[in-house]
């Protein structure tokens, strides 16, 4: 009897984090580009840039995921970044990330090739992280493949640092993940990263993990929040 062998797929990546109280805001986009949160009315524009059906974007917005984008001088979306709180599926490693109440997770970002290397993605990371901080989050996460140098550099420029390396053996819609802490990574972030990967339905976090949640910091109330979307910004001007 011959049993067909399935291709073994291993994803090598790392969880990167930014401590939002250390965020250095203020990096703008290139002249002529405009950065704002995507409203449901702009779902079609984002879907065009991402090359997905509009229903994908509308479905994500409807379940509470948020997107930030940079519009080019020609008024088309040139770069985007999705951000979730609560929980989010990380499809490349077949896991659902269980975020702590003070955490946010950036995912499924991209820049249209003609607009790359203009710091658009870096400015999106900073802007979205700034909004998350103003809304009471302390840590923002993202997962980056080891081969993705451009994403790593943009995250480093935006103040993110690698925390936990992962080798994920993909098994259908699940995975076996081996992790290794990054040298000199903040131990509290390493602990948070390990808990992130355990998912929402697995065993409850132990007292050590919960201790990390108790260290919430104060958030500045005088920091100006970014306008929610482009039309609100225009109205405010």
Ligand X SMILES: CC(C)(COP(=O)(O)OP(=O)(O)OC[C@H]1O[C@@H](n2cnc3c(N)ncnc32)[C@H](O)[C@@H]1OP(=O)(O)O)[C@@H](O)C(=O)NCCC(=O)NCCS
| Residue ranges binding ligand X (CB under 6 A) | 79, 109-111, 116-122, 144, 148-151, 153-154, 157
CB of 28 to ligand X, least distance (A): 12
Query: Please, how many CA atoms are within 13 Å of residue 30, restricted to the half-sphere of its CB?
Result: 14
Q: Between residues 149 and 178, which has the closer beta carbon with respect to ligand X? A: 149
Distance of closest approach, residue 29 Cβ to ligand X, in angstroms: 10
Q: How far is the CB of 99 from ligand X (least distance, A)?
A: 17
Nearer to ligand X, 89 or 118 (CB): 118
For residue 9, count CB atoms less than 10 angstroms from its CB and return exposed for 0-12, middle for 13-18, buried for 19 or more. exposed
> Which residue number, 70 or 131, has a Cβ lying nearer to ligand X?
70
C-alpha–C-alpha distance, residues 145 and 143, integer Å: 7
Task: Give the residues across from 66 on adjacent strands.
Answer: 83
Q: Write down the residue that tokens 């602990």 correspond to.
A: 191
Q: How far is the CB of 114 from ligand X (least distance, A)?
A: 10
Q: State the nearest-atom distance from the C-beta of 93 to ligand X, in Å.
A: 12
How buried is residue 176: exposed, middle or buried, by Cβ count under 10 Å (0-12/13-18/19+)?
exposed
Instruction: Tell me whether residue 107 or residue 212 sits nearer to ligand X (CB atom).
Output: 107
Count Cβ atoms within 10 A of the Cβ of residue 222 and give its class: 0-12 exposed, 13-18 middle, 19 or more buried.
Answer: exposed
- With respect to ligand X, which residue has the nearer C-beta, 145 or 219? 145
């Amino acid at each position: 009897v011959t049993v067909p062998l399935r291709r073994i797929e291993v994803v090598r990546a790392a969880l990167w984090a930014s401590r939002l109280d250390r965020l250095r805001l203020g990096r703008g986009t290139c002249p002529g580009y405009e950065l704002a949160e995507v409203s449901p009315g702009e779902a079609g524009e984002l879907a065009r840039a991402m090359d997905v059906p509009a229903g994908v974007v509308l479905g994500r917005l409807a379940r509470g995921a948020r997107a930030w984008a940079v519009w080019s001088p020609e008024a088309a979306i040139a770069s985007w970044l999705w951000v979730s709180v609560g929980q989010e599926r990380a499809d490349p490693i077949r896991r659902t990330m269980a975020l702590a109440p003070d955490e946010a997770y950036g995912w499924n970002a991209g820049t249209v090739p003609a607009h790359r290397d203009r710091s658009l993605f870096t400015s999106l990371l900073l802007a979205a992280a700034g909004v998350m901080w103003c809304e009471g989050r302390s840590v923002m996460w993202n997962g980056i493949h080891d081969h993705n140098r451009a994403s790593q550099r943009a995250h480093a420029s935006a103040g993110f640092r690698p925390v936990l390396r992962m080798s994920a053996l993909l098994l259908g819609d699940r995975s076996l993940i081996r992790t290794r802490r990054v040298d000199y990574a903040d131990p509290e972030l390493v602990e948070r990263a390990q808990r992130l990967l355990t998912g929402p339905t697995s065993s409850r976090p132990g007292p050590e993990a919960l201790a990390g949640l108790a260290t919430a910091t104060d958030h500045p109330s005088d920091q100006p929040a970014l306008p929610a979307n482009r039309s609100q910004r225009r109205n405010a001007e």
